[in-house]
Structure 1
Amino acid sequence: MTSYILTKAGHEKVQKIYQENSFSEISKKADLHRTTVSKIIVGNEGVSSKSIKIFSNYVTTNYPFSFEECFDYEECENKSRKIKKSNPVQDTNSPHYIQRLLIEQKIYKSLLSTNYILRIKAPKKMGKTMLINRSLEKLKAKKKYRIVSISFQEADNSHLSELNKLLRWLCANVSSQLELPVKLDDWDNLTKEFGSKVTCNNYFEKYLLPELKCPMVLFLDNLELLRINEI
């Protein structure tokens, strides 16, 4: 599937929009998922042709400048594009990262297991995210896996403070990253009958996972925010 990413000119235009609006505000106005908006603006991952055209229409309709293919956005060969990050700890080859080969090997082997939950608990600035990223890169290089990365830092406070909203947000977010249609029209009716936990579980088992032709790794970051909001 062809993916699109902003050019330098497009990125400069979008930054003007982002200065006035948050990801959530742009998401609502453009009728795009917040994660998709984040991918477009941050520019570290390509989005589908449909998504970039919806975003382009939003820009040209609401702002006094054009937003066109080739000049403002272009096809990218790979879905992901490596960008230079300001935080050196996030760079997989950063000299600031202390390698923990035995732990990395253990994580990698765990990720190869079926129906496995892996939890990494350590102090801040230890490099947990970097540790996982190194293992995920190794996994992507050698195996056919779909990797979905969810950071609860991207969720609104309203999502973090109510379980039903959080699980619905999670389902929508994962669907978006897998580039699958978000099928949550019956969510409210189903949660009344089965509860939000069962409904979320069924969404994954009966819809998302059967759509995939390879295993999926779901990476959840900033879990401490759930405890802060007492879900």
Structure 2
Amino acid sequence: MLRTQFEEDLLNLHNQFYEMGMSVSSAVHKSVHSYIEHDKHLAKEVIEQDIKINEMEVNLEKKSFEMIALQQPVTTDLRTIITIMKASSDLERMGDHAVSIAKSTIRLKGLPRILEVEKVISEMSDYVKKMVDNVLIAYVKTDAKDAKMIAKMDDRVNDYFKQVYDMTTSEMKQQPETIISGTDYLNVASYLERIGDYVTNICEWIVYLATGKITELNSNRNETF
């Protein structure tokens, strides 16, 4: 009987984590869409939605601690709970970055825009959202191979960031009136770049869930310990 209750609790934890991930994916997409389209209504929606994302993380953490304390799970079950706790913390931070992008939208006041840069930021956000969606599927499948492939996608996010940085700084030098909006572009691109980093963190937790090994998937440090 106890075991069945535990399995039910674990399934609920899984489902809540996945639901949180989908909410974060939606927040990332909406925040950039609101920024590019100057849609302040949508930006406010992202900020309001973040309260729910934060609550989800608190609930997941509380339930995880409860299950560890009361059920004393071992091996795979314990790894699953630890993965959900750690990865939900990464999701929560991704949600915070989506809020920062939404706040940039609200700050925008008809400043001169650099449409070529906005096009790259839009592509970058589509790519980052794809990473977020893919990592949730890899989590559901406990697929270490997919997780490693998704972590490699982060190199492309860094390339996008460099492209935005180069285009924006060049334009700011030539057109000083774009300095304020240009600074905002750099901020938005850096938030997206950080979201990519958090996806890589989740990939590492998926590899841990599948193999029991903590593996560094950052392309600069490929060591396993």
Q: Same fold (TM over 0.5)?
A: no
Larger helix proportion of the pair: 2
User: Structure 2 length normalisation: TM-score?
Assistant: 0.29
